[in-house]
Amino acid sequence: MPDERADEQEGLFGSVFSRGGADVGDTAWLRAMLAVEAALARATERAGLAPAGSGTEVTRAAAAGFDTAELGRLATLTGNPVPGLARTLARKVTAPVAARAVHRGASSQDIIDTAAMLLARQALDATRADLERAADGAAHLAKTHQASLMVGRTMLQQAVPVTFGVVAAGWLAGLDAAIDGLTWTRDTRLAVQFGGAAGTLASLGADGARVKALLATELGLPDPPLPWHTERLRIIDVAVAMARVTAALGKIARDVTLLAQPEIAEVRESVGGRESVGGGAPPASATPVAAIAIIGCARQVPGLLATVVASAEQEHQRAAGAWHAEWQPFAGILRLASSAAAWGADLLTGLHVDTSKMAANLSASGGLPLAERVMGLLATELGGPQAHDLVAGAAARAASSGLPLRDVLLAAPELEDRLRQAGITAAQIEAALDPAGYLGSSAGFIEAALAAHDRSATG
């Protein structure tokens, strides 16, 4: 079989959107379907329904070369590639008796659904490995920058101060939650599919359930209580787990693109030890390539997920069209989430944080992010409404004049009189405008996120 995996990764867009370890191209699908057919032959032999040696013969034939393009052409005759694959596989089995073990009792959906589970298992594992590397990078950033002050931003406006450590801790919590979702899905939601034409395995008589269990054992997949041909929650759960990966990474990537803007310049990428510079950009402008690629992956996933979820409405025992609609969107979600995770691992293990620029941006805010704290100080003496009006007026004058909030509060005669009457000193105002003293529970939140990460990593 040709190595289409290499083509996907090295194509015009594959290097961006197929960068991770998930292998879900045509060759991978074919390989997985052949693995299911071979395992079914071995299970049939173990159940005593095929002559000795049949499983070995079919497994050997499944390792031979298959023409994916020809199988694709044959699929137009039946609506899916499995009938053509099964006939081709049977012809490659040299012993006629053993050939009768090919596709015994199975439907096309059994082969494709079980192949999808094999692809999902590999993709979940690859994605989790990269996501764990990304989470370790976020943990390192959170620990290193626990005290690195920066402007907090809400609704794209400056807000009270934060630390970059608490920002990275928030990233870490999202990544760890996504990893938990991958682990739960890998451990509980994958399963073999084997039900025959209508989910009863009637063609195998009383041996159907036993063959199903043996097939599961051969493939290392769980054996569900019954076939799930038109109950598609397993497919949805895998897709959702991967969509949660891109959601967690997409949030981080969007933060990085904003913080990396030249007018902010608080972080910059250093993927592979080399700062990335986009084509056509001025030499001094480092383009956040990994973050952009993550967003490019993440933006595609919701539409694909919607198709997978919409396809779950499937009629009777086997669906007409809705099942077929799942194949490409499902594989696309696996591929894109895996690619995003690979980019995310590089991004977070190589992110350069400019703490001096963070401090400069905070200082340039002129104390306005601390207006809330000053208001709280004054409210104890003046009451809430008066404190609000006083500080709001001072903040407005500071913003329009370009003066620091401190200077406006302490230099305006009418404010000076009111502060003196309230017994509030200049030293108290100075202290209230110190950003390091207004971080609330940030340190505790960082420690809690790091402790949770450590527990997840060890358990």
CB-CB contact of 111 with 33 (8 Å): yes
pLDDT tens digits along 104-121: 999 999 999 999 999 999
Q: How many CB atoms lie within 10 A of CB 284?
A: 7
CA-closest candidate to residue 110, choices 180, 203, 182:
203
CA-closest candidate to residue 163, choices 174, 153, 149, 176:
149
- Regions of the chain short of the pLDDT cut 70: 1-10, 271-285
Residues 32 and 328: their CA atoms lie apart, in Å, by 15
CA-closest candidate to residue 354, choices 285, 267, 273, 263:
267
DSSP 320: S
**Token pair of 175, please?**
């990544």
- 118-191+228-364+451-459 domain in CATH 3.40.50.2020? no
Which one is the CATH code of 1-106+204-224: 3.40.50.1370, 3.30.413.10, 3.40.50.720, 1.10.275.10? 1.10.275.10
pLDDT tens digits along 273-298: 555 544 455 444 579 999 999 999 99
CATH number of 368-432: 1.10.40
Q: Where are the domains of the chain?
A: 1-106+204-224, 118-191+228-364+451-459, 368-432
- 3-class DSSP state for residue 157? strand
Rounded to two decimals, the pTM is 0.93
**Token pair of 192, please?**
């073999």
Model pLDDT, residue 332: 98
